Amino acid sequence: MNNEMQSLGKQIAAHNLINPGVVVSAKMTIKGFGHAILATEKTGTVISIDSNGIKGVFEGKQRYARFEDLTAIEGMDLPRFAQAYRIKTASKKKKN
């Protein structure tokens, strides 16, 4: 699933559908009380994009998120976002 999300994110980036200022959500790790590592979902805006992920401001801090960590772009999950812009995914099965 992670490789599929990564390739889908790369296709979305190649089509220039993620631009600076777009709102995204991503799973991120943070330090909690007692320095425990926790996974949480954060929302932020995109600053820049490269072939592996995006750099953005997530709730006040500048962070980097890989494509496989993205959970939503403009409120839509990645497969739905790709479908809206007619990007073919590897998970689609051909009908016989």
* Enclosing domain of residue 37: 2-84
Q: How many structural domains comprise the chain?
A: 1
Question: What would the pLDDT profile of 55-86 be if each residue is shown by its tens digit?
Answer: 999 988 999 999 889 999 999 988 888 888 88
Residue 89 has pLDDT above 80, yes or no: no
Q: Does any domain span residue 94?
A: no
89 within some domain? no
For residue 47, tell me if it sits in a domain: yes
Q: Which whole-number Å values give the CA distances from 3 to 52, 60, 61, 78, in the listed order?
A: 12, 29, 27, 13
Query: What phi and psi values does residue 86 have, to the nearest 5 degrees?
Result: 55, 45
Residue type, 8: L
Instruction: Tell me, yes or no, if the pTM score tops 0.95.
Output: no
Q: What is the structure's pLDDT at 91?
A: 52
Residue 8 CB contacts under 8 Å (≥ 6 apart), including other chains: 67, 78, 79, 82, 87, 89, 90
CATH number at residue 72: 2.30.30
What per-residue confidence (pLDDT) applies to 90?
A: 54
Which pLDDT value is given to residue 7? 85
pLDDT of residue 49: 92
